[in-house]
Structure 1
Amino acid sequence: MCKVLVVYYSMYGHIYKMAEAVAEGVREVAGCEAVIKRVPETLSDEVLGMMGALEAQKGMAHIPVATVDDLAGADAVIFGTPTRFGNMCGQMRQFLDATGQLWVKGTLVGKPGSVFASSATQHGGQESTILSFHTTLLHQGMVVVGLPYAFAGQMDISQITGGSPYGASTITGGKGERLPSDNELAGARYQGAHVARIALKLKQ
């Protein structure tokens, strides 16, 4: 089996819903399995409570916490992160900063790597978050995979929607009131299947 790891951080659950859709896409590809894990939380329950995120965090407690070794054991990795000032969140950055030994050994060289994201507003940094994330993947020698325009939902101008050739994304609203739309979830599924097919070809 070709193992595709979906590793994410989600404060309020939006990226988690996208991660589930990505995993569904992976599982559509025969010979591929999806494993969903979350990066370690760096904030205390007290802080999460003040941010109104504690309940959402409890709702994701059943998802195993990822380790650096999980990256090494995967044939491809799809990362999910919310946007923080046009970049990845601190929890994801801290997790990636612990992958130095993988870099030294070249463990991730040649493996497909892909990114999906969220932001509060339509122009809140989804593209810059994914593009700046790609820098880390390139330093690790990964094969960067985006969301091609073969996913026709990217061309939809009848609604507000996330998604770009860099990766699937969703718009959460300023108070987190907006859940991923059908089109955004379809983009996430497409990206998962796209990465899985490439990983399977490289593994063969």
Structure 2
Amino acid sequence: MAKILIVHYSMYGHIYKMAEAVAEGVREVDGCEAVIKRVPETLPHEVLEKMGAVEAQKAMADIPLATVDDLAEADGIIFGTPTRFGNMCGQMRQFLDATGGLWFNGSLIGKVGSVFVSSATQHGGQESTILNFHTNLLHHGMVVVGLPYSFAGQMDNSEITGGSPYGASTITGGQGERMPSDNELAGARFQGAHVARIAKKLKG
């Protein structure tokens, strides 16, 4: 079995919804398993309370926490993060900053890496977040995979939607009121299956 790890951070549940869709796509590929884990929270409870994120965090509390060793054990890793000023969130940054030992040992060289994101607005830095994230994957020697145009949903101009050749994405709205659309979830599923097929071939 090719093991695809979906490691993410989700404050209000949008990225987690996308992660579930990514996992569905992975499971569509014979011989591949999907494992969803989350990176540790770095914000204190009182800050999460002020941000109105406590209930959403409680709903996701049963998702296992990822460790850097989990990355080494996977055949492919799909990272999910909300956008913060055109870059990944601090929780994901802190997690990746702890992977120096993996880098030193070359533990991720040749593994498939991919990224999906969210932002509050349509032009909120989704593409720059993924591209900035890719530099981390390249430093680890990973094989970077995006969302090809064979996913026709990113060519659809009939609605406001996330998704680009760099990876699946969703728009959350300024108050987090918008959950991922059907098209955005379809892009996430497509990306999961696409990564899984490539990881399976490389593992084979």
Rounded Cα–Cα distance in structure 1 between residues aligned with 2:180 and 2:140: 30
Rounded Cα–Cα distance in structure 2 between residues aligned with 1:135 and 1:98: 16
What is aligned with 2:75? 75
**Aligned 1:3-152 pairs, distance under 5 A:** 3-152=3-152
User: Helix, strand or coil: the match of 1:150?
Assistant: coil
Rounded Cα–Cα distance in structure 2 between residues aligned with 1:44 and 1:73: 30
Rounded Cα–Cα distance in structure 2 between residues aligned with 1:52 and 1:150: 38
Normalising by structure 2, we get a TM-score of 1.00
User: Helix, strand or coil: the match of 1:121?
Assistant: coil
User: Helix, strand or coil: the match of 1:11?
Assistant: coil
Rounded Cα–Cα distance in structure 2 between residues aligned with 1:46 and 1:32: 40
Question: What is the deviation of 1:46?
Answer: 1.1
Rounded Cα–Cα distance in structure 2 between residues aligned with 1:62 and 1:193: 25
Question: Does residue 169 in structure 1 map to residue 197 in structure 2?
Answer: no
Identity percentage of aligned residues: 83
Q: Which amino acid aligns with 2:185?
A: L
What whole-Å deviation, never above 9, does each CA across 1:124-155 have from its counterpart, x for those lacking one?
00000000000000000000000000000000
Question: What is the deviation of 1:21?
Answer: 0.2
Structure 2 residues without counterparts, runs of 5 or longer: none
Rounded Cα–Cα distance in structure 2 between residues aligned with 1:174 and 1:13: 14
What whole-Å deviation, never above 9, does each CA across 1:147-192 have from its counterpart, x for those lacking one?
0000000000000000000000000000000000000000000000
Structure 1 runs of 4+ aligned residues shifted over 4 Å read none
What whole-Å deviation, never above 9, does each CA across 1:23-79 have from its counterpart, x for those lacking one?
000000000000000000001111101100000000000100000000010000000
User: Helix, strand or coil: the match of 1:190?
Assistant: helix
Q: Which amino acid aligns with 1:24?
A: E
Q: Which amino acid aligns with 1:8?
A: H
User: Helix, strand or coil: the match of 1:5?
Assistant: strand
Paired residues, number: 204
Rounded Cα–Cα distance in structure 1 between residues aligned with 2:83 and 2:58: 21
User: Helix, strand or coil: the match of 2:160?
Assistant: coil
Rounded Cα–Cα distance in structure 1 between residues aligned with 2:114 and 2:2: 16
Question: Does residue 188 in structure 1 map to residue 163 in structure 2?
Answer: no
